[in-house]
Amino acid sequence: ETGVTQSPTHLIKTRGQQVTLRCSSQSGHNTVSWYQQALGQGPQFIFQYYREEENGRGNFPPRFSGLQFPNYSSELNVNALELDDSALYLCASSARITGPQETQYFGPGTRLLVL
Amino acid sequence: ILNVEQSPQSLHVQEGDSTNFTCSFPSSNFYALHWYRWETAKSPEALFVMTLNGDEKKKGRISATLNTKEGYSYLYIKGSQPEDSATYLCASSTGNQFYFGTGTSLTVIP
């Protein structure tokens, strides 16, 4: 069974640029969630995708957007990068939306540095 | 937004010592509590999910308890080993969102 993978592992961008992060979900999972972990903080929920539709969003501005593809892989796009966007971005997949008890399985993350 | 807190922030123990740390969460509208172990440069690994007051879960030398009425969970590690060194995260989940604490960083000294 292949776990959750993310690419790239590291990325350096400058303010104002755009970035796309990618996530391949675990085999058999149709739900993908994205989290941002800033230095010294716990992961914060950005949004979730279920069957290619956004299914909930955290307190992040519209310049954070996402996509989910028919194979359930996902992208996180961030436009007009700001210095505060520097963080570790985690992707998590789960088997289905059954409720809060469903375990989310995480990838290793993409570390983004905005200069 | 749920405020989930973990304590202590970091912990150093000697190999063989037993240890425990705490996750506090709002007790109102509680649904589920998740524990993860996160080793450096790896993916967070799911340890336990607990939903019922009084739940106890065990995985090898690691166990966890849940008190939903007072809003806390304890994670216990018996006979700590160097390979237990990691950050332990808890998250309270409602629907599709996980609300994480900032984690407890455990270092086990050989």
Does A59 contact B93 at a Cβ distance shorter than 8 Å? no
As a whole number, the mean pLDDT across chain A is 93
Question: Which tens digit of pLDDT belongs to each residue from A17-61?
Answer: 999 999 999 988 999 999 999 999 999 999 999 989 999 999 999
Pick from B67, B62, B81: nearest CA to B30: B67
**B57-73: average pLDDT:** 97
Q: In the 8-state DSSP scheme, what is residue B105?
A: E
How close, in Å, is residue A43 to chain B by CA atoms?
6
Nearest to A76 by CA among A33, A30, A17, A12: A33
| Residues on chain A touching B98 (C-beta within 8 angstroms) | 33, 35, 43, 45, 92, 104
Q: How far apart are CA A97 and CA B47, in angstroms?
A: 20
Average pLDDT over residues B27-43: 93
What's the pLDDT band for B87 if we cut at 50, 70, 90? very high
Predicted pLDDT at B14: 97
- The CA-CA-CA angle for residues A70, A73, A79, to 5°, reads 110
Q: Give the tokens for residue B62.
A: 């690691």
CB contact under 8 A, A97 and B96: yes
Tokens 């007072």 found at: B70
Q: Do A104 and B46 count as a contact with CB atoms less than 8 A apart?
A: yes
CA neighbor of B36 nearest in space, from B99, B94, B96, B109: B99
Which has the minimum average pLDDT: A86-90, A101-105, B8-12? Answer: A101-105
Residues of A in contact with B102 (CB under 8 A): 40-42
Helix (H, G, I), strand (E, B), or coil: what is residue A113?
Answer: strand
| Distance (Å, whole) CA B93 – CA B99 | 6
Q: Looking at B15-103, which runs of residues are DSSP E strands?
A: 19-24, 32-38, 45-50, 56-59, 62-67, 72-77, 86-94, 97-100
Residue A100, pLDDT score: 77
Q: How far is A87 from chain B (nearest CA, A)?
A: 14
